[in-house]
Chains A and B, each alone.
Chain A
């Protein structure tokens, strides 16, 4: 390894941030190729235990890194993420690189195109290092629903890393990459970020292109960054956000461009709402006190904190499972074994081909949600379920809008529970669904939210705090998260 590597963290790749790497590569302190090699070595030495990656694309990563080095050598201006290795959740399409959704259905699927977010990363000279494990089709909260393997929480390898972006969270937490992309339909970035003690942001619906994100719940899905620091999270968001003509739900109006540069502006006079409904029976006591303590620390920094009620919050889970499953039942219908994906070895006719492809290709949880969603959309049940859930969604949005008339952001726990043990909840879907109870209302309302570490349990398990902003209020939640991060100075 090159002896010329210096920086805050010396040559301990596992501790290096996005900021350090990109600045170092741009300044020529080390090459993108060196960083990539360190990254691959770190994955090789660490991931056997963690199981965060489904695919490590060493060759293409090295080629990308060489191109970045060549660009810098030729005197061109390096991109914002020069040489930064990024792990990508395996439901985000990568041209020529297997993208499985952790499903047998797409075990051999190689997309013919890059997702817009991947294109944006590459155009800013990031290096795509590999694809991370997840709950099959992003359905789950523990990454145990992967058809291929389980991922262990680097903070306690007997425990789950959360989900569905558990592979991305674990890869960042274990220092295998400084940043990863996840996707969040009901909490799938924030909950694993909380479980693994890292930062994870779910952007405002429409801020980041969904083109190339394999759809689960189209009206809820967003891609977002998962990083070790709030600053890295801001840098990543700056790169991946923006209007995309290929995504008709992408935001056409203005949005902030500079998050990282404004992090240090402080939170004096921020008005923070703490939702009463988030502090109920199901909430772990250690999490409750860590979150309350953090609220007081923010108050100490000049913010005003009030307890506020959001009566609609209680029905979020039911509405979420109806809407997300309904959309999923339609989104996953295309996997019929005809054009791509799993095809059964034997079949009598086309109906049996499709039936077998789906029976064999999908796992239990995916089938459960497809059935749930199909039922909710069926003639005679549509009004009672889907339509009612949409009505609730409007109500929730208006109640939240009411809160944001008076407050800059909402503060609460990310998850009601600490990281649980592998196998502990997998047999009980309902208890698994409850792990999303604080995160789903954010998706239903299309709001931005960040999970930032706010402490540890007695057993050393990480605790995450969630900050929810108004539409396109990423600046505010990043500033508050940054203030808390600087205040708490937690050791990774």
Chain B
């Protein structure tokens, strides 16, 4: 029996506003605990919320970037539950009149054209954070995050594999980044994702029982958690125990690599939503919507098309570049400096990505100036330095900074292209390696590779490889 997996996602993204959604406190990350708080976001008696217009604008922008309809009349509701990190014991959120509805994101994945419909985008406030002390019988609460504006994006159950879910998340992240809506730093919690997953025997029309997965902190974890849960549910089916799949919330334990039951449907909260009486309904002005529309940047899919057409990049290269707003911007800056697009793409996708991964530096903080990369590319293309040397210069620029010219100078990496100098090295290598020379002359032409390598070694990699090849071949013929 084969199975089909059904996945829907609920994504929370912190909005990039300067102040919180209902008060003037800063949204800066990593401030001292409770430094960014005031009577309003601490839920002191008598305080009232005042809606941050910028948060509404960003939510509208997100909705439009995701192809949603903007609801000119929307409203806030209270979601009631007790938890120490929730200062008012209710979260101001949007229930039945969200700011945006009915969008879609489309992409290719594993040969399937995937269309993920967006059910809704709504605004809400974030809660604080509990800090559990290891050796103390108490916990602390940091309310810096309480009141930071969030959008919740809810998809329809349109993804059919963990990979599709991850691909969607990557797509969504790049859209939010392109539009300056959110920082999308999953590791800091500014982008969070809960997943609903169910399986059903292939061909069955009705959905199986869904399970909600929480506490997923990276794309890798999302894929792992979904794969694990998919496997668990399919196994239960296979052994005729599908009734044991119950509607519940399960927490992903990344350390143990498994999901653990948190609460069943019966234990689910009754949030007792009702319209927030402290805020009048939100009426979005037509002019705001048209201003947001005008401010929408080129989105990843459009940029992908342009990169393949305008720069002649391969689909794969354009895909990786445009999947990361900052990488794509860096690439274009380098091209704008005068670099050939293909060479620039090769450097950015090759050595640059490697260094980014190695160093853990974010692509938005690349330490090499695009102009420096452009000059480095020219030096290699003009034969001033070898390709190998170029890579070394790049590494140095990335780690310690400096211009490519200085580094080449300091490290003595300029390429040897003088015929006399190379000839001298060639003759020395021929003299030092009689056996290889004899092999070559005896018909083992492959032996020239070894000899070229020896010349390069003698030159400390600086000899122009084309000239080495040419001169070595000539010398071996004649001598």
Contact = CB atoms under 8 A, between A and B. Distances in A.
A84 interface: no
A211 B23 CA distance: 13
B73 to A, nearest CB: 16
Contact of B280 (A115, A215, A249): A249
B50 A246 contact: yes
B272 A93 contact: no
A211 B84 CA distance: 24
A111 B44 contact: yes
Contact of B274 (A91, A109, A377): A377
Interface stretch (A138-146, A196-204, A336-344): A336-344
A378 B44 contact: no
A244 to B, nearest CB: 9
Interface stretch (B86-94, B188-196, B215-223, B443-451): B86-94
B46 A115 contact: yes
A339 B87 CA distance: 8
Interface string A71-109: 000000000000000000001110000010100001001
A245 interface: yes
Contacts of A374: 272
A50 interface: no
Contacts of A213: 46
Nearest to A93: B46
Interface residues of A, number: 43
B49 interface: yes
Given A333-B82, A334-B43, A211 B274 contact: no
A374 B274 CA distance: 11
Interface string A347-386: 0001000100000000000000000001001110010001
Contacts of A453: none
A99 B45 contact: yes
B234 interface: no
Contacts of B45: 93, 99, 101, 106, 109, 111, 214-215, 334
A382 B46 contact: no
B46 A248 contact: no
Interface in B266-305: 270, 272-274, 277-280
B319 to A, nearest CB: 45
Contact of B46 (A211, A326, A329): A211
A377 B87 contact: no
B280 A248 contact: yes
Given A211-B47, A382-B274, A339 B90 contact: no
A295 to B, nearest CB: 35
Given A248-B51, A330-B80, A339-B87, A378 B43 contact: no
B272 A248 contact: no
B39 interface: yes
B50 A333 contact: no
Nearest to B271: A379
A395 to B, nearest CB: 18
Given A111-B44, A111-B45, A248-B50, A336 B89 contact: yes
A403 B88 CA distance: 39
Contacts of B87: 334, 339
A340 B51 CA distance: 25
Given A112-B39, A211-B46, A248 B88 contact: no
A329 B274 CA distance: 11
A210 B278 CA distance: 10
B279 A212 contact: no
A350 B139 contact: yes
B340 interface: no
Contacts of B109: none
Interface residues of B, number: 29
B35 to A, nearest CB: 15
A60 interface: no
B44 A112 contact: yes
Nearest to B90: A330
Contact of B43 (A106, A211, A339): A339
Given A330-B272, A333-B80, A334-B87, A212 B278 contact: no
B146 to A, nearest CB: 11
A247 interface: yes
B80 A336 contact: no
Contacts of B277: 217-219, 249, 327
Contacts of B51: 248
B274 A336 contact: no
A326 B77 CA distance: 13
B48 A211 contact: yes
A214 B278 CA distance: 12
Contacts of B139: 350
B78 interface: yes
Contacts of A340: 44
Contacts of B84: 336, 338, 350, 354
Nearest to A386: B274
B327 interface: no
Contact of A378 (B42, B89, B141, B272): B272
A339 B278 contact: no
A379 B270 contact: yes
Nearest to B47: A211
Contacts of B50: 245-246, 248
B48 A210 contact: yes
Given A210-B48, A333-B82, A339 B42 contact: yes
A382 B272 CA distance: 8
Contacts of B274: 326-327, 330, 377, 382, 386
Give the most central of A106, A213, A215, A333: most B CB within 10 Å: A333
Contacts of B273: 377
A112 to B, nearest CB: 6
Contacts of A93: 45-46
B46 A378 contact: no
Contacts of B39: 111-113
Contacts of A338: 84, 141
A382 B271 CA distance: 11
A265 B141 CA distance: 59
B54 to A, nearest CB: 16
Nearest to B84: A338
27 contacts: A92-B46, A93-B45, A111-B39, A112-B39, A113-B47, A210-B48, A213-B46, A215-B45, A215-B46, A215-B278, A219-B277, A247-B48, A327-B274, A329-B272, A330-B80, A330-B89, A330-B274, A333-B82, A333-B90, A334-B89, A336-B84, A338-B141, A339-B43, A350-B139, A354-B82, A382-B272, A386-B274
Interface of A: 91-93, 99, 101, 106, 109, 111-113, 115, 210-215, 217-219, 245-249, 326-327, 329-330, 333-334, 336, 338-340, 350, 354, 374, 377-379, 382, 386
Interface of B: 39, 42-51, 78, 80, 82, 84, 87-90, 139, 141, 270, 272-274, 277-280
- A-B pairs, 5 with minimum CB distance: A333-B89, A218-B277, A377-B272, A219-B277, A214-B45
Given A106-B45, A378-B270, 11 more contacts: A93-B45, A113-B47, A211-B47, A248-B50, A248-B51, A248-B278, A249-B278, A333-B88, A334-B43, A336-B84, A378-B272
